Structure 1
Amino acid sequence: MDYTLFGHPESGHSYKVKLALEVAQIPHHYQVIDIGLPHQARPEPFRSLAKFGEVPLLLHQGQAYVQSNAILLFLAEQTGRFGGESSARLARAREWLFWEANRLGLSLAHLRFARRFDALAYPAGSLVWFERRYDADIERLAYELRDGRRFVLDDEPSIADFSLCGYLYWADQAQVAVPPTVAAWLANISQLPGWAAPYTLLARSAEAR
Structure 2
Amino acid sequence: MKNIAKFSAIGAALAVVAGLGFTWFASTRHAGEDIFAQCRSSVVAGGAGAIGGPFTLTDENGKTVTDKDVITEPSLLYFGYTYCPDVCPLDNARNAEAVTLLEDHGYSITPVFISIDPARDTPELLRQFTDLMHPKMIGLTGTPEQVKKVSQEYRTYFKVQDPNDPYTLIDHSTQSYLVFPKIGFVEYFNRDAKPEDMADRIGCFIDAWNEAGADSAS
- TM more than 0.5: no
Greater strand proportion: 2
Answer 1 or 2: higher relative contact order, Cα 8 Å, separation at least 6.
1
TM-score (norm 1): 0.28
TM-score (norm 2): 0.27
